[in-house]
Amino acid sequence: MARPMGPVRLRRTNYVTLSIGAALCIFIIYFLTSPGGHSRSTTKHSSPIPKPSHKVRRDVQRFDLNKVTITNDPVGNKEKILILTPMARFYQEYWDNLVKLNYPHELITLGFILPKSKEGNAATTALQAQITKTQKGARPFRKVIIERQDFEPPLASQDESERHKLANQKDRRAAMSKARNSLLFTTLGPDTSWVLWLDADIVETPPTLIQDLASHNKDLIVPNCFQRYTDDSGKLAERAYDFNSWQDSNTAQELAATMGPEDLLLEGYEELPTYRTLMAYMELEDMNDVRAEVPLDGVGGTALLVKADVHRDGAMFPPFPFYHLIETEGFAKMARRLGWHATGLPNYKVYHYNE
Amino acid sequence: MMSRHHSGAYANGYPRAKTFEISPHRFQPRASTPATRRRRKLLIRLGIFATLAILFGLFVWPGSNTIVSIFSLGLVSANNDVVMDTVRYYDLSNVQGTARGWEREERILLCVPLRDAEPHLAMMFSHLHNFTYPHHLIDLAFLVSDSKDRTLEVLVDRLEALQADEDPKQPYGEISIIEKDFGQKVEQDVESRHGFAAQASRRKLMAQARNWLLSAALRPYHSWVYWRDVDVETAPFTILEDLMRHNKDVIVPNVWRPLPDWLGGEQPYDLNSWQESETALALADTLDEDAVIVEGYAEYATWRPHLAYLRDPYGDPDMEMEIDGVGGVSILAKAKVFRSGVHFPAFSFEKHAETEGFGKMAKRMQYSVVGLPHYTIWHLYEPSVDDIKHMEEMEQERKAKEQEEKQKTEKEKKIKEQFSDASSQWEKDKTEIQNLAKQEPKKEGKQDTKKEAKADAKKGSTSEDKKTTGEGAEDDSNTESKSKSKDDSDKVSEKPAKDQAKKVES
């Protein structure tokens, strides 16, 4: 039966191919016409914690900021505190320490900002896992806000050596300032009394950190930031870590006077001998008096408690050289220009992660 | 359909192997096989159509969670719901602000600082009513500080009315009112507000108020921030879109104010939008750390090009001009500018404070700061003390003039009355004379008397005519002077409104 098969088969599969073709066409047309809508719906479901559908309150909300108190007894006055952390890496020790803080958790709002990099994604996932666990637990925090941002210029490397090179400092700390400001000004809100800046690599603090710092009732207050390590002989020891808390010196002032407007006067670099009095190396008469206070001109941001009013007045972390200072040091200067003072607690220690 | 004759062995579904059977054409229940096959085909087709329909439906209505949740994710999100109330996730790269924000549903935070603003609230709400940017995408934030009048009460009432509006397009997004008293001693009246000595401290306090408002109201989902003063009288309804279209980090329109005719009709109002000049930079170097340079005062001659003075009423409203200092009457800025830390310095930043310092700081962080010289909004005209004095003088002058006019008309009236009296007297006299005359020539023919009587009647009617026309003229002049005086008062009191109308047209 020499009979051509072609046309028969063609006709028989016609309906199927047609319908498949039609289906494909519909898909193609759909993707061509509405790429935005579809990608939005996929991203919406791909993140572990979906973006909340924006619920709008129609009523008129009134906030009387005259009634937001800032006192040395924050627990007694039920003062709300905002703990802000710019995060590039997640350390379990950080989270454990944070959860251990014994300030009433229902008064604590947590704010995190993470870069949109591979490292940032990993940190976000780890962080969200811990948040979910804690928020389902017995002592959930009042609110947790996670923000993601593209850092421009991107933080190329987070290695200790690379991170601390003088030339990289300006860009790195400018990006850091912007991250801090973004986090701060979107979360401050109308009812916060205190803002605690706590770096993601602070792994050990007294559980009473907030009460202890607030009891001094200072505008800006910084504990001393140390780092635990094992020395050559294998013993546990500690060393100073944060050199951004200092009292100004004449040498530094003179040095600053000779600089161009875009130059930075940084601390802890041999190229720039400033002879500032660093809180990290302060020799006090009584080494055990944890309540000893010293006035400061520059502050570090590893742990830093600030009255919310200081930020509300506009004091922020300058991402540009402000009196030759940047980030947290520039923040202290800007606060000073607005009439707020910085204080340090040389004997009150918090500990940084050892890399 | 193919003819059965050809397709025979293959089309009916027999396996090929059967071709080698001895009698391939013996009877078979042929009808049954194609029937089942047709049914199967039909089922497949139906299945394909069903899946297509479902898929299509999924894509067309992605919001319908009931269908979406069938696929895996439903379980996850349901689990997370408990946590969701307290945990929020925001990607700030989605809220950078684009030229066509209304299409991407970008939210705007509209900030209005208020102090003793009760009289201006009605005007402000009429503006709120008219914005063409989708209202549900605009969050309103008000700061009420140190107010001695009923600003707060009126504001709350009006906002509640606005939110309860029947028109679904009227209600706004979230509304927050923030109360904070800074204990300001500076008075808000025009004189003290614009006096040179008070400027620096006044500007710093204003800056503080603005910063408090922004830091309390800005949220991670805002793409834009719009600052608007309460005392803007006229502005295009589309101002948000118009400014947004330029896609600049910070953008301001030109701000003028209408004036009464005797002051020239209109005047540049906001002198805080300017381009930096060498003279001003040199001047800044000579001042001490806390000094604040303020524009528009003879004390600081800066020779800066001002946005306000560059206005051409017939110029291209889309023309842009790079500026360094900005005025605060109407600023549209991307929220990322504020997020990155730019604010209104309440201290002397590069010798400037408040909005001018804001412009300087934005520039310092390499943001684009732009003004539109030919796109104008109109600030309310509040007469200064001098203006009021001048207006009182004018009013007196006007009254004196009116008085004079009145006297004049009265005089005329009197004269006319006297005239009409005289004419009637004359009439009387005339008739008497005529009577006398009639009596004398009585003996003359009847025809004569008739003639005279006719002439008499004629004369009488003409004099009457004269009288009425005279009175008519008098009336006219009266109304004319009245309407004239009314015009005068209109000119003084309603001039701004007229100007406004003019502006709307232009």
Q: Is B341 on the interface with A (CB under 8 A)?
A: yes
Q: Is A49 on the interface with B (CB under 8 A)?
A: yes
Q: What is the domain count for chain A?
A: 1
**pLDDT for A14 beyond 70:** yes
Q: Which residues partner with B178 through β-bridges?
A: A63, B143
Q: Is A59 on the interface with B (CB under 8 A)?
A: yes
* Mean pLDDT of the A86-93 span: 92
Structure token digits, residue B70: 């069938």
Measured CA to CA, the distance from residue B410 to residue B314 in angstroms comes to 49
CB contact under 8 A, A3 and B10: yes
- Cβ pair B24, B18 in contact under 8 A: yes
* Mean pLDDT of the A279-305 span: 86
- Radius of gyration (Cα) for chain A, nearest Å? 27
CB contact under 8 A, B220 and A59: no
How large a percentage of chain A has pLDDT more than 70? Answer: 84
pLDDT of residue A317: 95
Among A71-80, A159-168, A281-290, B449-458, the range with the most confident prediction by mean pLDDT is A71-80
Q: What phi, psi does B463 have (nearest 5°)?
A: -65, -35
Secondary-structure percent of chain B, ordered helix, strand, coil, rounded to 5: 55, 15, 30
pLDDT digits (tens, 9 = 90+) for B302-320: 788 888 888 888 989 999 9
Tell me whether the omega of the peptide bond preceding residue A153 falls within 30 degrees of 0, making it cis: yes
Q: Which residues partner with A202 through β-bridges?
A: A352
CB contact under 8 A, A26 and B2: no
Q: Is B17 on the interface with A (CB under 8 A)?
A: no
Q: Is A35 on the interface with B (CB under 8 A)?
A: no
DSSP assignment, residue A296? E
- Residue A130, domain extent: 68-352
DSSP assignment, residue B274? B
- Cβ pair B378, B232 in contact under 8 A: yes
CB contact under 8 A, A58 and B171: yes
Low-confidence ranges of chain B (pLDDT < 70): 1-34, 59-84, 184-197, 296, 298, 419-423, 441-506
Chain B segment 348-377 residues within 8 A of A by beta carbon are 348, 364-365
Q: Is A135 on the interface with B (CB under 8 A)?
A: yes
A322, part of any domain:
yes
Query: Among A56, A181, A331, which would you mutate to test the B interface (most chain B Cβ atoms within 10 Å of its Cβ)?
Result: A56
Q: Is B45 on the interface with A (CB under 8 A)?
A: yes
Chain B segment 277-306 residues within 8 A of A by beta carbon are none
pLDDT of residue A287: 76
pLDDT of residue B166: 87
pLDDT of residue B465: 46
- Cβ pair A231, A237 in contact under 8 A: yes
Chain A residues within an 8 Å CB radius of B348: 337
pLDDT digits (tens, 9 = 90+) for A189-222: 999 999 999 999 999 999 999 999 999 999 999 9
Q: How many Å from the N-terminal Cα to the C-terminal Cα in chain B? A: 73
What are the residues whose beta carbons fall under 8 Å from the beta carbon of B122, sequence distance 6 or more?
Answer: none
Q: Is B14 on the interface with A (CB under 8 A)?
A: no
Q: Which of A114, A104, A54, A111 is nearest to A79 (CA)?
A: A104
pLDDT of residue A189: 92
- Cβ pair A103, A75 in contact under 8 A: yes
Nearest CB to A338: which of B163, B222, B347?
B347
* Mean pLDDT of the A282-305 span: 86
Q: Which of B219, B262, B225, B221 is nearest to B243 (CA)?
A: B225
CATH number at residue A99: 3.90.550.10
Q: Is A152 on the interface with B (CB under 8 A)?
A: no
**All structural domains of chain B with their residue ranges:** 104-387
Nearest CB to A177: which of B171, B176, B341?
B341
CB contact under 8 A, A188 and B45: no
pLDDT of residue B479: 42
CB contact under 8 A, A148 and B92: yes
pLDDT of residue A11: 54
Nearest CB to B163: which of A58, A316, A317?
A58
How far from B494 is each of A150, B261, B447, B490, B501, CA to CA, in Å?
A: 54, 11, 70, 5, 11
How far from B71 is each of A77, B58, B77, B143, B203, CA to CA, in Å?
A: 48, 11, 11, 47, 58
A204, part of any domain:
yes
- Cβ pair B133, B108 in contact under 8 A: yes
Q: What phi, psi does A58 have (nearest 5°)?
A: -85, -20
**pLDDT for A49 beyond 50:** no
Q: Going by CATH, does the domain composed of B104-387 fall within 3.90.550.10?
A: yes
Give one DSSP letter per residue of B37-79, joined into a string. HHHHHHHHHHHHHHHHHHHHHHHH-TT-HHHHTTSSHHHHHHH
CB contact under 8 A, B176 and A62: yes
Strand A294-296 and strand A342-352: the pairing is antiparallel
pLDDT of residue B36: 74
Chain A segment 319-338 residues within 8 A of B by beta carbon are 319-320, 334, 337-338
Q: Is A52 on the interface with B (CB under 8 A)?
A: yes
Q: Specify the higher pLDDT residue, B479 or A5.
A: A5
How large a percentage of chain A has pLDDT more than 90? Answer: 48
Structure token digits, residue B272: 């805080």
